[in-house]
Every structure is written in C-alpha cells, then in structure tokens.
Structure 1
C-alpha cells in the first residue's frame, strides 16, 4: 500500500503550480457539470480529459491505486443496487424498451437500463480521477489559505487542512498496528478464513480508534494553548496570490464547462437519447 494514500505528493507539475483556490474552483465546476449531465458525448469527453489532466499532474497511479480500486468496488455495488431497486429506470427515462435477457421475477435486462447505468458509471469515473488529483496535488496548508481567501472562515479552513493531513497519519498508524499484531500471531493474510480475518481486524481497529482519539485530544490542547480562534482574522504562511496562469485556467474551465452544459441541455433535457 502506498505511503501517500490520499496525501499531498510534493512534485513539480503544472497542476501543482496552480493555487489551491484555482484547483478548488475547477474541481467544483467539473463536479457540478458531471453531476448535471447525462449526455454520453459530454461524459466521455470529460472522462478522456480527466485522464489527460491526470497525466499532466505527474502523479504516479500506484500512489492512488488503492483508493481508486476501493472506490470502484463501491461503484460496482452501487450499480447492482440501482438495478435491484429500479430495473426499469432506463426505460422510464428514454421512453422505449428493448429487452435483452429475462432474468427472474420482474427483472428484465434492457438496453435502456444498460445505457443508463453506463452513463451513471461514466459520471463517477469522470469525477474520481479529478478528485484524487485535487487531493494529491494540493498542499493542505496552502489549501486552507485558499479557502480563507474565498471567504471561508479560517476556523473551517484550518479544520479541513487538519483533516487532509490526518488521512496519511491514520494510514501509517494502521500499518504499524497491523504489523505489530501480525508479529503477535494474528493472521490477516488470505490464508485465513474471511470470517476469522474480519474478527482479527478488530484487534487493529480498536487500537487505531484509541490512537486517533488521543491524537485529536493532543491537537485540541495545542490549539487551545495557542489561543486558536481568539481573533476574527488570521494570516497564512503558505498563502499564494492568483497568477496569470490561474486566471487562464479558471476562465478556460468556466468556458469549457459552460459549453458542456449547453450541449447537455440543447435538446431540452439532460439525457442523451439514442433510442429515438
């Protein structure tokens, strides 16, 4: 498992050189567009662009692979749940029904349902890489300063910064506790039965929770001793002003997302319908 799980990776790339404010604005624009659109043409283009942006960021895939695959598992379960609870959702959206396979009971696999869930999957896949890039290329302290610059209270901004820094700490503690428990004979490998492995996992989670609570208490005391929050405003050491490149990226992203939304709603609905 990577030592940089959802943590800031300090390398030099065009994405890293952008300010936290720029990356946050672009991420929000990207996410809103992906959530609103069910136009397959737009979503596929956004998916390809997300891969290009990931390449530009110079982030090694192995540094985020664990989280990426973990999200894909939940995405699979989400697709199964959508089909289980609403097997004809695509039919109601697109207004036609082309049956492929009769499964059991009321469950019929239709072309419309497959197309609907394909679009839904692509929507998630367009956001996941951008979200991971955002976390991997944004310094928590600089991001807190950027949030404060956008009008967010510095108390909230600092809380977000601490949370971003805390993720790799939890991962490191998990690995250390896991190795210590395995040295004591607790087997977590694939050789053990799944039920036994889940039971043994409790020997890791309880110390991890206690360690996390102790760290939270330590941070709270440290902040109180330094009179954190006594003033209405504060300065940030890592604050960076917007540069020309930031403005170009923000304007470019705004225009691009505007075009995507125009294409999405140009036919009067946000669903692209190839069945009519």
Structure 2
C-alpha cells in the first residue's frame, strides 16, 4: 500500500502549532510567493521551506509521489510558457541574449530562461509549505481555525471533510489499480505512454463511482446528525493560540512587510540581473 498523504502527529514543533497559525503562515507565504519575482527573495523562501520541512520530521517518501506529479505539471507549464510566449523574459528584463537557435524561428534567450527559472522557483517555494500544511494540521482543528477567522462553520466543516477524504481517495486508487492490474491491465513502463493513459481510465471510472457512493454516505450521516440546523457549533479539536503561535505570527507579519518593501524597492517586482 502506498504511503497516504494525510495528517499524522509525530510530535514535531510544526505539529505543535495551532491550525490558525499554520493557516495564516500558508496564506501569507503563498501570497508573497505569488507577488514577488525577486529571485533573491524566492531563493531565501525556498531554502526556508526546506528547513521547515526538515524540522517537521515528515518522511520524504510520504510526499514523493505527489512531488513527481507536480514536477510533471510544472514541466508542462514551463514548456507551454516557452511555446506560447518565448519572448516574455525579453519584454520583462529589457534585453535579448540568445543562447541557442531552436526550431521554427524559436530562440532560447538568457532572459526567457531566467524568467522561467523564477516561475519554477515559485512552485518550489510554495509546494513544501502546502504539503506541510496538509500533513501537520488536524482537519478538525483546521476547520475550527477557519471558523475562528470568520468563515461559516458549514464551509469550514466541508473543508475538513475534504482533507480527510484525500487519504481515502489515495487508498481507493491503489486498491482499484491493483485490482485492474490483477485482471491484466498493464500500467507499467513496459507499455507505451498512450496505453498507460488509456488503461488509467479503467481505474478512474470505478474510482469516480466509489467517490459518489462515499459522498452519498457522508451526506446522509451529516443529515441524520442534524448538521446545519443551528447557526453556530462548538469544536472538540479547537487549538489554542499560545505564545509560540504569537511569536510565529508576529515574525510572519514582519517578514511579509519586509518582503513587499524588498520586492518593490526599485519600482518593479522583477529582479533584473541583466541591467
């Protein structure tokens, strides 16, 4: 059975933080990553993400499969950017240093390469924190945190169910995949990519129907428990804001302000080494 992408408390300092703190950290970190194109700041954030990931003591094998999928989609995204906008970096950085002439009039420039490097760096900056947020946050505590921030408890509870549903989806996928392979459906590297994609559909269709059945079961259970009858609810797993949480939040606010100042210090959010 493959490792499941789900919450598991291993007693690390990251796990000890409240769900509200981790939610704010994830939101602010993602916002700064999306706004800035300052390579120096992105590199600092990327290295910081790796340090936090190390502190969390999360097993890398747990996220290896997800990282591989993300790398595939990242590669597709970078290729698409180059094909549809090969001069984007040239327009942004105001120069054109040709490194190689490719096909059909396409040229690989240092400016385009640097721009796409920054795009990839944004992915690598956000991904570790996003995965940590899922792996170190109790879904019920997370729902409570959303509710504390003013979100309706119905929406908060729906988000918590979604987080709990991720490992169930993974487990079902593995079970259905193994069942199909036992029937002779080959999805290994021995067959062509086209056939693997075609055979994957044979896994996704039963997975879809099993998901619909699970949704129906959850809906009936929530209705029987009177979910949504009242305007408010109490939370059994509500996490308290402690001193360490306040320190992290204060540091995060200072970092966000400093990042914005650094990003727009020269009047542009793009760091330009080609000046």
Same fold (TM over 0.5): yes
**5 Å matches for 1:166-205?**
166-205=165-204
Give the length in aligned residue pairs.
Answer: 275
Contact 1:2 1:62 in 2 (8 A): no
2:20 touches 2:146 (CA, 8 Å); kept in 1?
Answer: yes
Aligned partner of residue 241 in structure 1, secondary structure: coil
* Equivalence map 1:192-231=2 (5 Å): 192-231=191-230
**TM, length-normalised to structure 2:** 0.96
SS of 1:101's partner is strand
Displacement of 1:182 in angstroms is 2.1
Task: State how far apart, in whole Å, the 2-side matches of 1:271 and 1:18 are.
Answer: 33
The superposition leaves residues 224-247 of structure 1 with CA deviations (integer Å, 9 ceiling, x where unpaired) of 111100100000100012001100
Stretches of structure 2 that go unaligned for 5 or more consecutive residues are: none
- 1:104 match: secondary structure: coil
Quote the offset at 1:203 in angstroms: 2.6
Mapped pair 1:148 → 2:153: no
Paired residues of 2:38 and 2:269 also in contact (CA < 8 A)? yes
Distance in 2 of aligned mates of 1:194 and 1:100: 32
Encode CA deviations 1:121-142: one digit per residue, 9 max, x unaligned: 1111100111111111011011
The residue aligned with 1:27 is 26
Is contact 2:36–2:270 with CA below 8 Å preserved after alignment?
Answer: yes
Partner of 1:69: 68
Instruction: Tell me the CA shift for residue 181 of structure 1.
Output: 2.1
1:94 touches 1:275 (CA, 8 Å); kept in 2? yes
CA contact (8 A) 2:15 2:137 kept: yes
Contact 1:22 1:250 in 2 (8 A): yes
* TM-superposed deviation, 1:191: 2.4
Deviations 1:84-105 (A, max 9, x none): 0111111111111111111133
**Contact persistence 2:172–2:207 (CA under 8 A):** yes
Contact persistence 1:140–1:161 (CA under 8 A): yes
Aligned in 2, Cα 1:266/1:175: closer, same or farther, shift over 3 Å? same
- Report what 1:3 is aligned to: 3
Displacement of 1:2 after TM fit? 3.5
Equivalent-residue separation in structure 1 for 2:192 and 2:274 (angstroms): 48
User: Does 2:48 correspond to 1:49?
Assistant: yes
Counterpart Cα distance in 1 of 2:18 and 2:237: 10
Distance 1:193 1:275, change over 3 A: closer
How far the C-alpha of 1:188 sits from its partner, in A, is 2.4
Residue 88 of structure 1 contacts residue 113 of structure 1 at CA under 8 Å; is this kept in 2?
yes
Matched ranges for 1:21-170 at <5 A: 21-170=20-169
> In 2, are the aligned partners of 1:96 and 1:112 still within 8 Å (CA)?
yes
Match of 1:109, SS? strand
Structure 1 pair 135/177, CA: closer, same or farther in 2 (3 Å)? Answer: same
- Tell me, yes or no, if the aligned pair for 2:2 and 2:174 is still in contact at 8 Å: no
Q: Using the alignment, how far apart are the partners of 2:182 and 2:68 within structure 1?
A: 28
User: How many angstroms does 1:258 deviate by?
Assistant: 1.5
Q: After superposition, give the CA deviation of every residue in 1:231-271 in whole Å (9 maximum; x if it has no partner).
A: 00000100012001100000011111221221111111101
Conserved? CA contact 1:8–1:137, under 8 Å: yes
Q: Distance in 1 between matches of 2:65 and 2:26?
A: 21
Q: Deviations over 1:210-231 (max 9, x none)?
A: 1110010011011111110010
